[in-house]
Amino acid sequence: MTTFNDYKYVRPDLNDAKTQFDVLFTAFDNAQSVEEQIKVIDDINVLRNKIDSMSNLAYIRASINTKDEFYEQERDFFDENNGEIVYFESLYFNALNRSQFKAELKEVYGEQLFDLAELYVKQFDESIKELLNTENKIASEYSKLVASAEIEYKGDMYTFAQMGKFMESSEREERKSATLAIQNYRAGLMNQYDDIYDRLVKVRHEIATTLGFDNFIELGYVRMRRVDYTPDMVKTYRDQIAKYVVPVAQKLYSAQAERIGIDNLKIYDEPILFTNGNELPKDDAHTILENGRQMYKELSAETDAFYSFMMDRELFDVEAKKGKQAGGYCTFIDDYKSPFIFSNFNGTDSDIRVLTHEAGHAFQVFRSRGHKVPDYLWPTHESCEIHSMSMEFLTYKWMDLFFNNAAKFIYKHLADAIQFLPYGVAVDEFQHIVYANPELSPEERRKAWTSLEQKYLPHTDYDGIEPLIHGALWHRQGHIFESPFYYIDYTLAQVCAFQFFKRSTEDFDAAWKDYLHICDIGGSLPFNKIVEVAQLQSPFKDGTLEEIMNFLEKYLENIDTSKF
């Protein structure tokens, strides 16, 4: 059987690709029937998939080992030529938009492809190719800076991911000393973080104004393919979070402080919900993955087929190690019809959350991989996160496979999910402030972050630790640097996932049926229509947040935390 290590990488010849695309686009424009144009679209997509497959292989292998010179050079190649690749994409979407058979093509492919095409055309012009290359190179500086971290602690060197186990120690002094070690390291890099972000903000603003937008906020929404909601709708949604979620989150923080026996919850106390520490996985990474086989076999025939495919082809790389890029992700290698899951297991409960979360992404694209339109393999980002976050809840009944006390894990998982929402919208509002005011200095940006903490995270106490007291917490959030405006998506999806959880407690089979359906439709519909098809309420709808928070509060109240 072919495994991931056998997947062949060959750097694409972009000059040759350009020649092939030119021939295909000419054939598309000269087509005398919709059938001819469909045939050309198929050929175009084969070429698009080849380039995307090689880009993903280079990215995966470079992130597994950032010290691999060959794949680092290949990732640099794609960064440096991103403008050219985006140019190819823009030619494709322009061709769709001007097709003389557009109405007939919509009958074949659906409205969503053409809505996406209109947005894509807005985000690109040949005049910005070099600016796009610059943006990608600067963003890569951030990921490499994070991946290169070597934090000295107790005589050894650790990555950020490897420090996680110390941050969740049941001993308060160890949590504090680990936090100090991390923040002392970050303090030495604060100017670099600020400088990288400053350059990103400025180049993104220049890209936006060159394309005719007032600022990058407008372009950011276009890039995120937001077809059916606006910044004004997002602002109203953030206001609902402040009204209905922040008070519940603050109650949870207060209960946490009382439960672990401290008067004032400090930043290094936040990861610990119980006096004897959080529930940790009972097994190592290899056993966790193997236990996943049983979980997904019992969940459904569909998940059994998916997980066996992933394991048999070795499409996981989950253990934290030096030189490995931070974070976790799921991607898809088109030419091999293969999802791939990347993570950094560190011996904490996040290992299981990451497994189920990224498996949710991978399962969705596995189910959607039969779509002939590559643009329908994935939904837009906020819809993608419905699949991943909901999977975290739909696998609750199998948590005994991974923990000795599953109820303890579930309580923390739910509390964390609720408390995430205010942080998530703070990240989003921060980016709106920054890109509406690109001339802000690094110091002014950090002050803006501090003001948002007071609004959404009023419990936060940094205990005088630098650089956190100077508004630098957001430096840790890679999305802010690498994927602008990709964060509110997590919160929107979280509200949808909460609804799937609620429904699963009432009728699991019905909830699973709707979940499976939205996996199958992939990206063929925009966010609000996917929510409707899933028989959920839109997070933008007045009353949705109030209703789901009432359910979650009652659910948590019925868990006896005194036994933890």
Confidence of residue 275 (pLDDT cuts 50, 70, 90): confident
The 3-class SS string of 405-428 reads: CHHHHHHHHHHHHHHHHHHHHHHH
Distance (Å, rounded) from C-alpha 384 to C-alpha 380? 6
Q: Is 250 helix (H, G, I), strand (E, B) or coil?
A: helix
Sheet holding 338-345, edge to edge: 316-319, 338-345, 329-333
Position 564 scores a pLDDT of 81
For residue 442, the model assigns a pLDDT of: 97
| Mean pLDDT on 477-483 | 95
Interacting residues of 560 by C-beta distance below 8 A, sequence separation 6+: none
Instruction: Say what the pLDDT of residue 112 is.
Output: 96
| pLDDT for residue 322 | 87
Q: Assign 79 a pLDDT band (cuts: 50, 70, 90).
A: confident
Tokens of 211: 């394309």
Q: pLDDT category, 161, cuts 50, 70, 90?
A: confident
The conformation of residue 244, written as its DSSP 8-state character, comes to I
| Residue from 561, 285, 272 nearest 402 by CA | 285
pLDDT of 278 higher than 90: no
pLDDT tens track for 414-424: 999 999 999 99
CA dist 178 and 510 (Å) reads 45
The whole-model pTM stands at 0.91
Give helix then strand counts, H and E, for the chain. Answer: 23, 5
Instruction: Please spell the DSSP secondary structure of 485-518, one letter per residue.
Output: T-SHHHHHHHHHHHHHHHHHHH-HHHHHHHHHHH
Q: What is the pLDDT of residue 277?
A: 83
Amino acid residing at 404: N
Tell me whether residue 370 is exposed, middle or buried, using C-beta atoms within 10 angstroms of its C-beta: 0 to 12, 13 to 18, 19 or more.
Answer: exposed
Give residue-wise pLDDT tens across range 425-460: 999 999 999 999 999 999 999 999 999 999 999 999
Which helix (DSSP H) or strand (DSSP E) does residue 201 occupy?
Answer: helix 172-210
What's the rounded Cα separation, in Å, for the pair 20 and 13? 11
Q: How high is the mean pLDDT of the chain?
A: 96
pLDDT over 70 for what percent of the chain?
100
pLDDT (mean) for 8-20: 97
**Does residue 561 register a pLDDT over 90?**
no
Of 167-171, 293-297, 378-382, 398-402, give the lowest mean pLDDT range.
167-171
pLDDT band at 48 (very low <50, low <70, confident <90, very high): very high
DSSP one-letter code for 335 = G
Q: Is the dihedral angle over the CA atoms 169, 173, 176, 181 positive or is it negative? A: negative
Mean local confidence (pLDDT), 135-157: 93
pLDDT in tens, 170-220: 899 999 999 999 999 999 999 999 999 999 999 999 999 999 999 999 999
How far is it, in rounded angstroms, from Cα 252 to Cα 323?
Answer: 37
Per-residue pLDDT for 376 more than 90?
yes
**DSSP-derived secondary structure letter, 522:** T
Q: Are the C-beta atoms of residues 505 and 395 closer than 8 Å to each other?
A: no
Query: Between vectors from CA 268 to CA 264 and to CA 270, what angle results, nearest 5°?
Result: 70
- Confidence at residue 147, expressed as pLDDT on a 0 to 100 scale: 86
CA angle, residues 7, 13, 17, in degrees to nearest 5 = 105
Q: Give the pLDDT confidence score for residue 1 in this predicted structure.
A: 87
Instruction: At 433, give phi and psi (nearest 5°).
Output: -65, -45
For range 37-66, the mean pLDDT: 97
The torsion angles phi and psi of 338, rounded to 5 degrees, stand at -125, 125
Banded pLDDT at 342 (limits 50, 70, 90): very high
Cβ atoms of 14 and 81 within 8 Å: the answer is yes
Would you place residue 86 in the very low, low, confident or very high pLDDT band (cuts 50, 70, 90)? Answer: confident
Cα–Cα nearest to 457, from 466, 465, 467, 468: 468
Under DSSP, is residue 8 helix (H, G, I), strand (E, B) or coil? coil
pLDDT of residue 276 exceeding 90:
no
Strand partners, 341: 316, 330
Distances from the Cα of 550 to the Cα of 189, 245, 248, 438, 543, angstroms: 42, 10, 9, 39, 11
Distance of CA 65 to the CA centre of its chain: 21
Residue 510 to residue 211: CA distance in whole angstroms:
46
Q: Is the pLDDT of residue 83 over 90?
A: no
What percent of the chain shows pLDDT beyond 90?
92
Contacts of 472 (CB under 8 A, 6+ apart): 186, 190, 193, 446, 449
CA torsion sign for 104, 110, 116, 118 is positive
The band of 53, judged by pLDDT with boundaries at 50, 70 and 90, is: very high
The answer for residues whose C-beta is within 8 angstroms of residue 162's C-beta and 6 or more apart is 320, 344, 346
* Distance of alpha carbon 107 from alpha carbon 364, whole angstroms: 24
Amino acid at 142: Y
Mean pLDDT of 265-286: 93
Please name which of 85, 88, 107 lies closest in space to residue 37, comparing C-alpha atoms: 107
Quick one: 555 exposed, middle or buried, by C-beta within 10 A (0-12, 13-18, 19+)?
A: middle
